[in-house]
Structure 1
């Protein structure tokens, strides 16, 4: 079913819609306290939003004495689709206009299978959500992919861990399939938007969100908005070089952070430890399963295996080395660590913190929290597309 969602006519209506999205149902008086509009202008803009169906009445507000104000809320029929494609899995969720998740499915997936196969799986998961009653239509969709994206066109550009995706018109193709507006972004930018919407960064206008997984990236939020750079490659910290003589990276260069501590690098080094006999715990797991995963490293470290612990701590120090440079340059108010490798536990976070606090200047780190993320990227995907829908044409 093709979306026919109206759009706000001006910046005042867009501001009102975003307030109702983020704060829930509000009285006209409460909205008036949030925006710099005269009472008559506010009433006019709300009435226009009611006429378009983007906003609906929601009963009487709580009494403050005198005449009671009427509540309004954003239309509960609006539906947004969030898709977060990782290197090894995909999350798909449906939200309402207040970005509450109404349905969520996830499954393993190999992004190296290419865009056609991956989006066949995505559309199958979307079909499951529709069958479950989460949505009959979508008013917009946000999609994240684990690589650099030319944002205006929604096209991945030379993504190192996504063979076959270079130049694929994700935004155009999925908009045709879903019948609604689509925006495409790097997955870590969506993680940052999710934390800003419903996680640890809700009141922080300037922060970094680092995703540690098969790839490593950083979402940069400045003044409340995602900074993507001129071409969309801002935050590609996994390919900052630590050592020109280091291991070869998937990008073709050597000594990148990702080549030392991305998910594949962690498995590579853990397998070497197991085969050399330096880690009895990992050797046992390798013999049992025939291959190792980051979860095996986490379990071995939790069991007190010294070699596995050292592997985690070294990865944390290297990651902290890069983050320390970012902190010295950007001076954020918060650093959020997310992604699959956060399952390695407290030792990883402690190593990152220690390196950053040791390496960056005291003025930058004196009141700098470095914390684990709380929110899935699909929430950020829904936030991305809702920002677009709730903007003037």
Structure 2
């Protein structure tokens, strides 16, 4: 039974009450009409009416009687997590990942394609539209409807405008109306955010401990960025630039950065820097494993560096460990300021090896204030390189399940969600196929 102390706030707005009911059912905080009435401080009759509307729209499922604690057994409710699909897209420097998921984040279909984001927003938009169309057409007959599309972009984003804001390495993307153009092409609602912010959403949504309120995700790709979930909310900053740690001037380095400054963290510890260092040693005596990896792949990217680390290449292990130590020192500053309970490392260097993780963890413990780090957990992402795409899909949920949208679904008299899940999800691979 849910006690009075858990009130989510009663309101006379019936659709705001419906939003609260859906949230309670999603979180499994209250699963019967009686529990919902206690959690919201609303009368049982109005709860019964709102629940009937939500069941009619397919958003909630009436599962029949629940266990009785005395008297007539109550009827249990659950959120229809598999009754609709979401599509998530992550666009990074060298690849586009697309997933279709249910409302739990379980992947139904996934696809990936190599793409150079420097080709510009128009070319990238065309590839995203094509990949989404492929995913939609590959869904089995009878699949639930796709209700929204989320996109993670590789740079600072104005969430309201749905466009990137002065991305240091991608000037052609500045203010390009990516969300509006994609929504027009698809005829579906679209939300756009920074790719690392999407990762934070994905990691939290699929983590066993949903109570975590202060989480930082650090993505180490060609550049370095952080997503911040602080006091239970995604923190974007005043202009969408929060967490852009790759362009923080660090140490005494005078290496020029493509942002126009010198000594940025990305220039000494980002994927571009690591790939250049590896390229100068590929095939040498201290990097024979990397040489073999490059020979088989026919190229040298961060993916090959990660493979060489996993296979035990001494040179690649050394440069990744040093990068981890430098990244860890910057993370230690964030830990001292924000005091998170969890730091998650994401990106290809964190999939098949703990080299980067060990170096980051050691550096943070050595440099962060003890009071802020003594209970801190630092670990690799459990979603592999799909965390951004999964998070982009999950990002849609809070935007979809609002009072106004629930009102439109209820007033339309139709079913927003399918009656039952129609798709069985395959296993998720850790890495996109190259």
Tell me the TM-score normalised to structure 2 length: 0.81
Matches within 5 A, 1:42-81: 42-75=47-80, 76-81=82-87
Q: Is the 8 A contact 2:65 2:75 kept in 1?
A: yes
The 1:343/1:61 distance shift into structure 2, 3 A limit, reads: same
Q: Distance in 1 between matches of 2:311 and 2:190?
A: 45
What per-residue deviation string (whole Å, max 9, x for no partner) do you get for residues 271-303 of structure 1?
A: 123377653433455566554233433344344
Say whether 1:237 aligns with 2:248.
no
**Per the alignment, in what secondary structure is the counterpart of residue 62 of structure 2?**
strand
The 1:136/1:70 distance shift into structure 2, 3 A limit, reads: closer
What per-residue deviation string (whole Å, max 9, x for no partner) do you get for residues 73-94 of structure 1?
A: 3455433221121222222222
Q: Is the 8 A contact 2:150 2:395 kept in 1?
A: yes
In structure 2, what is the equivalent of residue 356 of structure 1? 364
The 1:130/1:153 distance shift into structure 2, 3 A limit, reads: same
**Per the alignment, in what secondary structure is the counterpart of residue 231 of structure 1?**
coil
Q: Distance in 2 between matches of 1:286 and 1:100?
A: 34
In structure 2, what is the equivalent of residue 386 of structure 1? 397
In structure 1, what is the equivalent of residue 214 of structure 2? 206
What per-residue deviation string (whole Å, max 9, x for no partner) do you get for residues 135-154 of structure 1?
A: 57432221111111011111
**Unpaired segments ≥5 residues, structure 1:** 1-7
Q: Is the 8 A contact 1:25 1:71 kept in 2?
A: no
In structure 1, what is the equivalent of residue 337 of structure 2? 329
**Unpaired segments ≥5 residues, structure 2:** 1-12, 405-434
The 1:336/1:110 distance shift into structure 2, 3 A limit, reads: same
The 1:388/1:248 distance shift into structure 2, 3 A limit, reads: same
In structure 2, what is the equivalent of residue 4 of structure 1? none
In structure 1, what is the equivalent of residue 93 of structure 2? 87
Deviation at 1:253, TM superposition (A): 1.6
Deviation at 1:35, TM superposition (A): 4.0
Say whether 1:317 aligns with 2:325.
yes
Deviation at 1:203, TM superposition (A): 2.3
Q: Distance in 2 between matches of 1:323 and 1:301?
A: 22
In structure 2, what is the equivalent of residue 369 of structure 1? 377
Q: Is the 8 A contact 1:294 1:344 kept in 2?
A: no
In structure 1, what is the equivalent of residue 8 of structure 2? none
The 1:385/1:300 distance shift into structure 2, 3 A limit, reads: closer
The 1:281/1:387 distance shift into structure 2, 3 A limit, reads: same
C-alpha RMSD of the superposition? 2.6
**Per the alignment, in what secondary structure is the counterpart of residue 173 of structure 2?**
coil
Range that drifts further, 11-20 or 221-230: 11-20
The 1:161/1:28 distance shift into structure 2, 3 A limit, reads: farther
Q: Distance in 2 between matches of 1:13 and 1:178?
A: 29
What per-residue deviation string (whole Å, max 9, x for no partner) do you get for residues 298-337 of structure 1?
A: 3443444432222011100011011001001111111111
The 1:295/1:23 distance shift into structure 2, 3 A limit, reads: same
